[in-house]
Amino acid sequence: MLTWRRALVRTRLYHRIARGLRRREFEPFVQPIMDLRTGQCAGAEILMRWAHPQRGIVGPAEFIEEAERTGLIVGMSDLVMTRAAHRLAPIAVRYPDLYFSFNLTPLQLAQPQLPRRLEEIFTDDTIARDRVLLELTEREFVDPLALNRITTLQSNGWRVAIDDFGTGHSSLASLERMTIDRLKIDRAFVSTIRDETVSRPVLDSIIDLADRLRLPMIAEGVETQAQWDYLADRGVQYAQGYLIGRPMPITAFVEWLARQDQLTPSSVPAVVPGIAGDANIPDVAAQRLWNALRTPGGLDIRDRMFHLRTYTNCFVGREAVDWIVQHQRVSRADAVRMGQHLSALGLLSHVVDEHDFEDAELFYRLATPRDAGVALGPSAAGLSALLRGPQGVSVTQHTRGLLRHGDCATGKAIVTWIATSLRVSRDTATRLALQLMREGAIRHVYDDKPFTDSRALYRVV
Ligand code: C2E
Ligand code: CA
Ligand code: CA
Considering only CA atoms, which residue is closest to atom 35 of ligand 1?
60
pLDDT digits (tens, 9 = 90+) for 291-324: 889 888 889 999 998 888 899 999 999 999 999 9
Ligand at minimal distance from the CA of 242 is: 1
pLDDT given for residue 272 in this prediction: 31
pLDDT given for residue 382 in this prediction: 64
pLDDT surpasses 50 at 386:
yes
Contact 411, 417 (CB under 8 A): no
Rounded average pLDDT over 92-114:
94
pLDDT higher for 445 or 391? Answer: 445
pLDDT given for residue 265 in this prediction: 44
Considering only CA atoms, which residue is closest to atom 25 of ligand 1?
47
pLDDT given for residue 444 in this prediction: 87
Q: Measure the CA angle with vertex 354, ends 352 and 281; round to 5°.
A: 90
Rounded average pLDDT over 412-438:
82
Rounded average pLDDT over 8-37:
93
Is-above-0.75 flag for pTM?
A: no
4 C-alpha to center of ligand 1: Å?
30
pLDDT surpasses 80 at 22:
yes
SS3 track for 336-394: HHHHHHHHHCCCEEECCCCCCCCCCCCEEEECCHHHHCCCCCCCCCCHHHHHHCCCCCC
pLDDT given for residue 172 in this prediction: 60
Ligand 1 pocket residue status of 241, Cβ below 6 Å: yes
Listed as own residue / partner, the contacts of 150-159 with beta carbons closer than 8 Å and 24 or more positions apart are 150/109, 150/178, 151/178, 152/115, 153/114, 153/115, 153/118, 154/178, 154/179, 156/115, 156/119, 157/129, 157/130, 158/118, 158/129, 158/132, 158/134, 159/99, 159/130, 159/132, 159/133, 159/134
Ligand 1 pocket residue status of 126, Cβ below 6 Å: no
59 C-alpha to center of ligand 2: Å?
14
Provide the greatest CA pair distance for the chain. Answer: 90
pLDDT surpasses 70 at 374:
no
Mutation to probe ligand 1, out of 25, 31, 47, 81 (largest number of atoms < 8 A from CB): 47
Ligand at minimal distance from the CA of 30 is: 1
pLDDT digits (tens, 9 = 90+) for 67-83: 999 999 999 999 999 99
Listed range (229-233, 244-248, 261-265, 359-363) with the worst mean pLDDT: 261-265
Listed range (109-118, 153-162, 267-276, 380-389) with the worst mean pLDDT: 267-276
Ligand 1 pocket residue status of 60, Cβ below 6 Å: yes
Calculate what percentage of the chain has a pLDDT beyond 70.
89
